[in-house]
Amino acid sequence: MPQTPPLDYHATSFSQGRMDFTWEELTPEESQQAYADWEAGKGLIGGDPRRRPNAHLLPPWGLNQPFFRTLALDDERGDNGARFRADLASDRPLEVEIGFGRGDFLLDRAPRHPETLFIGYETKIKATRLMLQRLVRLGIENLWISDDDCRFSMPRLLPDARVDIFHILFPDPWWKPQHKVKRLFSPPFVDLLAAKLRPGGLLHFKSDVKEYGELVRYLVEGRDEFSPHDPALAARIGDFAPTHREHWCMRHDRPVYAYYFVRR
């Protein structure tokens, strides 16, 4: 197995963040509104890609690189679309990380599992560009990344029951009421995860905000498609490099809340 170069966890400006995150069980009306907002494309980070100028074109820095955008797979200036489609159509196991940040987790995990195909989503374009430079420099060949919002991309690109593991590590809780629509976890998002995970597939979630973890558990365990959280399932992840946020939490003795759910 190739040796993964050590990752540089340089000093960060992370703060404790807001710990007054609160939530309540959804009323039928609130759940219905969540689906209506989803259908209307509300909450997508960066807005609806279909409304962006030249959305059918890849940025120059992404051409012929392991990078894709959902609406630009047919950009004939590069071979991105053809190679990505071929990888996705293979029978290789697939793991997806949503919100990879600096990419430390994926940059460590992909070389550990060369037989597996990996996809990473991160809506911050600068972070995506830096991640692309790192994975190319390291010569990692089983990892694709995108700066699309996964809520727009995955319904259009990933076949149902294709994903073996979803990793969602330290997502932004969007604690302000006016930003709630941007929050990743909602009833339609859990529907999406259930559709794309294969039976026996794993949802791997972490946060340093206890209340967000409780919300995720409420939403996921409320679906018949998922088994209840089982800490023993952490063994399926095996050895891993922590994300930059998790590394910060460990250095500052902050608790991390991990959840593992299996798709029935």
Q: How many domains does the chain have?
A: 1
- Buried (b) or exposed (e) across 115-130, using 16+ Cβ within 10 A? ebbbbbbbbeeebbbe
Report yes or no on 19 lying in a domain: no
Based on the residue annotation, tell me whether 191 is a catalytic residue of this protein.
Answer: no
pLDDT of residue 8: 64
Report yes or no on 59 lying in a domain: yes
Report yes or no on 3 lying in a domain: no
Report yes or no on 14 lying in a domain: no
Asked whether the beta carbons of 155 and 192 are under 8 A apart, the reply is yes
| Range(s) of the domain holding residue 103 | 28-262
Report yes or no on 17 lying in a domain: no
Q: What angle do CA 167, 23, 150 make, to 5 degrees?
A: 30
State the CATH number of the domain containing residue 246. 3.40.50.150
Strands 197-207 and 163-169: parallel
Residue closest to 93 by CA, chosen among 16, 188, 2, 198? 198
Reading phi first (left if > 0) and then psi (alpha if -120 to 50, else beta), residue 41 is in left
pLDDT of residue 3: 45
Report yes or no on 175 lying in a domain: yes
Cross-strand pairs, 143: 118
In the sheet with 257-262, reading across from the earlier edge strand, the strands are 143-146, 117-121, 94-98, 163-169, 197-207, 257-262
Report yes or no on 106 lying in a domain: yes
* Active-site entry in 160, 172, 191, 239: 172
Structure tokens at 49: 């890609």
How far apart CA 264 and CA 142 sit, in angstroms, is 27
pLDDT of residue 19: 54
pLDDT of residue 146: 98
Measured from the Cβ of residue 5, the count of other Cβ atoms closer than 10 Å reads 12
pLDDT of residue 115: 98
Report yes or no on 1 lying in a domain: no
Q: Which of the residues in the chain have pLDDT under 70?
A: 1-20
pLDDT tens digits for 82-140?
999 999 999 999 999 999 999 999 999 999 999 999 999 999 999 999 999 999 999 99
Longest dimension (CA), the chain: 52
Q: Which residue has the tokens 């600096």?
A: 102
